[in-house]
Amino acid sequence: MEYIINSVMNVVVPPASMVMMAFAWPTLSVLRAAEWAVKTFFQEDMENKVVLITGASSAVGEQIAYEYARRKANLVLVARREHRLFGIRENARILGARQVLVIAADVVKEDDCRRFVSDTISYFGELNHLVNTASLGHSFYFEDAIDTSIFPHLMDINFWGNVYPTYAALPYLRQSRGRVVVNASIESWLPMPRMGLYAAAKAAVINFYDTLRYEVKDDVGITLATHGWIGGDLSRGKFMLEEGSEMQWREEREGSFTSGHVVEFARMMVAGACRGDAYVKYPTWYDIFLLYRVFVPDVLGWTFRLLLSSPGPRRHALLPDTNSGGSRPLLEGSPVRKPASTSPRKAERES
């Protein structure tokens, strides 16, 4: 009997759902537009609010700090590379940030996460927004990875680097009825070659926060921001593994990218968080691929094979290993900051 019911539902539910969506779409679009207008008018005032940003030395993290600074918030900037935060701190002050606290910490270490959250509460007395931007991508085919020891590090930074700060901050966010803002990616559901582990981690992130949203209910807001390829300055950079070995990274994709995409994504991300949006998407036209993946996955698969396949030999993202004479996969680390046209000039160092 159960087999018969499922067989009937398999035939009836998909087309019936499509018909319902077709009729409901215009009404839902109007309601969403009205909701957006109301939320924009009554958006959260961030003046003197406390915002903690992880991965603040990255291109996205830096621009997010500037957006909150323009809203006159108090900032806590967290990154492993503390020296890179000093310039961002001065720029944020110029843009209007009330107070800026700089903390060196590693988001994959739970003790570090507890420490920088505790330091934030000790200094400001509250926490209103937690913004998780720490991220590490890669550019290699899975079967070409020679050193599998990098796999846990990719998962640690992209998944646990979001979970640990959230776990430590959640009790204080409940007290302030605050918000968690997460930097995710469309690779969580849109297949991209050479980004398998990154996509898997981002998919885990989105599912974790969608689940957490139902658990915390209205006590804590959650904004998931997904982006397509937004570029940045990918000419140099280093990622230090916990053991002390060093991996350089580079991005081998074709095309030139400007920091304007990063600035726009950061602006949309902060504006969406202040409106209380559950999701922020940049650019929004990527959404159509989700429908294709659900209803006609074969079409999406054919399209990506056609567009992304290369007739020539594929390039191996490998790095010479000076110790063994072999090669190791290249990793994409947090991008080096590229000054945006809207960013202030770097302030002179205090004497």
Q: What is the Cα–Cα distance from 192 to 184, expressed in whole angstroms?
A: 15
Name the pairing type of β-strands 238-240 and 246-248: antiparallel
DSSP label of 183: E
Q: What is the Cα–Cα distance from 68 to 82, expressed in whole angstroms?
A: 20
Give the tokens for residue 334. Answer: 């947090």
Q: Go through the chain and tell me how many residues it has.
A: 351
Other CB atoms closer than 10 Å to residue 228's CB: what's the count? 19
198 is catalytic: yes
Contact indicator for 105, 112 with CB cutoff of 8 Å: yes
Q: Considering only CA atoms, which of 188, 214, 211, 213 is closest in space to residue 201?
A: 188
Other CB atoms closer than 10 Å to residue 122's CB: what's the count? 8
Q: What is the Cα–Cα distance from 348 to 351, expressed in whole angstroms?
A: 9
Q: What is the Cα–Cα distance from 199 to 290, expressed in whole angstroms?
A: 15
Task: Go through 102-118 and write b for each residue having 16 or more CB atoms within 10 A of its CB, e for each that does not.
Answer: bbebbbbeeebbbebbe
Give the tokens for residue 308. Answer: 């992304």
Contact indicator for 329, 54 with CB cutoff of 8 Å: no
Q: What angle do CA 204, 168, 274 make, to 5 degrees?
A: 75
Q: Considering only CA atoms, which of 99, 102, 93 is closest in space to residue 66?
A: 93
Q: Which of 68, 164, 198, 282 is catalytic?
A: 198
Active-site residues: which are they?
198
